[in-house]
Amino acid sequence: MFKSVFSKYMAGFILIFVCSFVCFAALVFGYVTEYARDDAIGSVQSATHSTKIMMDAMWQDYFSGYGEESEKEPEYAGFIVEEGANIKAALDGIAKFTSVGIFVVDGEGTVIAATEPKLLEKAAPDGYLVELFGKNELAGGYTSAEKMTVGDLVTEKSYISAVTLSGSGDYHVLSYNLIDSESVLIGELVRSISVSMIVVFLLGVAASYIISYHMITPLKDMSRAAKNFAMGDFDARVRVKGQDEIAELAVAFNNMAQSLSDLEEQRSTFLANVSHDLRTPMTSISGFIDGILDGTIPPENRDHYLNIVSVEIKRLSRLVRTLLDLSRIQCGERKFTMVNFDASEMAMTILFSFEKQIDQKRLNVVFDCEDKMYVLADSDAIHQVLYNLIDNAVKFSYEEGELRVSLKERDKNVLIEVYNEGKGIPAADLPHVFDRFYKADKSRGLDKSGVGLGLFIVKAILQAHGENITVASEEGKNCCFSMTLPKGTAPLMPDGAKRRR
């Protein structure tokens, strides 16, 4: 089943959003629950403490009002009865600011003052203090760790805080939560998170869609272009937007498409050149042979035309050999035998082989080499390289121009340069001169026999030796090819020691 990258991106984004919100909600839920619990416990503790301070102060004032002439000490029950209205007002004031309920019980557990009138005269269950706090004496004040109820007085579970009033003996103040703040906060939290989650989820999905769309669109364009390439259409290109990795990929893809287009054009040119180079000599050979056989060519002219046939056959042989070299190099089947030999002697010998062409153009030949230059390379391959470079130099030189071959030592290499004054290579063609099937002279005006493989083979041979070749040219003035070869040593024996590469 096909699943697009876009759908995978969207599914991934949605999964990340959901997981993030679940983790966030769980974390916030824990913090809010703990906060609500601490807030609820703090409220009842604060209310109980404030009530105790207030009633202890009122009791002290009440107690002091009796004076020394009083026959009996005041009782706490009397204090509650006489100050009941003031106590009720104080309790209401404290409860208002703490959102708790407060009531006071006597020693028998009967409510004698409360913020809620319905609690008056009701009684707490026997042993309620022990049930709540595990003890009857609460001078220091205690608060339940869990939510609890107190008979008919506190019917909804709540945190309970209690303390014994000073001077009362066994009168106690109890406070409880009127509102379940935990449930309220958690409810608000759930609503807030739900709304936030929906809003952020929708925004996230929209943003993910836009981002994914912009990321996937160039990839779709590349896919369509690649399908066009498979059908032989190399004109398709991908629109480049931005400066991110996708844009870099699009640029690289377009460069590849341009290379394929150029290669296809070069291949077409190559086929046309090869067809021409095969058809022309074969037509000549066929015509001359037929003329000799049917007597059209007189016997006294046969040697002349047979010589032309021989030249054309050699031309065909060179073309086939070039094609075979190309095939062997591309398949990695060509092996090189590395030997020490004198590159200067080889270059001089090749120059002598072009003596006729050099004389015809009246070239000024300069051979710049002070001594023997031994290199470690495959002699046959390097002969092919130098022959090709010098052949091009002679072919494209102006009449009476300079042709210079120089060999110089440079560190661990020997630098070989072939320079000629001539038409040169246009700047636009320089990056492509070593490409397969490429010919700067597309008109075949100067190079009538080449098919655009010579320099490609030259570079392939040098790269197989771990070396390289460069070219510099001024159009209409000169051209110079520079190559390096590993420095060798003079052989001790004529045959020299050989090693396979």
Average pLDDT over residues 376-383: 90
With a threshold of 0.75, does the pTM exceed it? no
Query: What 3-state DSSP class applies to 400?
Result: coil
Three-state SS at 237: coil
Q: Are 161 and 175 in contact (CB under 8 A)?
A: yes
The mean pLDDT value for 95-118 works out to 85
- Helix 379-395 and helix 454-464: axis angle, to 10°? 150
What residue spans in the chain does CATH classification 3.30.450.20 cover?
A: 5-183
Convert the pLDDT of each residue in 434-480 to its tens digit. 876 666 655 444 454 555 678 888 888 898 888 999 999 998 899 99
Residue type at position 65: G
Q: Give the pLDDT score at 382.
A: 92
The string of pLDDT tens digits covering residues 292-322 is 888 888 888 888 888 888 887 877 787 777 7
pLDDT at position 324: 75
Query: Tens digit of pLDDT for each residue in 169-223?
Result: 778 888 888 887 777 777 887 788 788 878 888 888 888 888 777 777 777 787 8
395 touches 447 (CB < 8 A): yes
CA–CA distance, 84 with 233 (Å, rounded to integer): 102
CATH tag for 5-183 (out of 3.30.360.10, 3.30.70.1020, 3.30.450.20, 1.10.940.10): 3.30.450.20
Nearest to 181, CA basis, from 153, 149, 159 = 159
Other CB atoms closer than 10 Å to residue 277's CB: what's the count? 20
pLDDT of residue 404: 94
Predicted confidence at residue 279, as pLDDT, reads: 74
Cβ of 347: how many Cβ atoms within 10 Å? 23
Question: Rounded to whole angstroms, how far apart are CA atoms 291 and 308?
Answer: 13
User: For a pLDDT cut of 70, what percent of the chain falls above it?
Assistant: 87
The mean pLDDT value for 30-39 works out to: 83
Q: Given this model, what pLDDT does residue 499 score? A: 44
Report CA Rg, the chain.
53
Helix (H, G, I), strand (E, B) or coil at 360: helix
CATH 3.30.565.10 residue ranges of the chain are: 335-500
Topology adopted by domain 335-500: Heat Shock Protein 90 (3.30.565)
Amino acid at 233: D
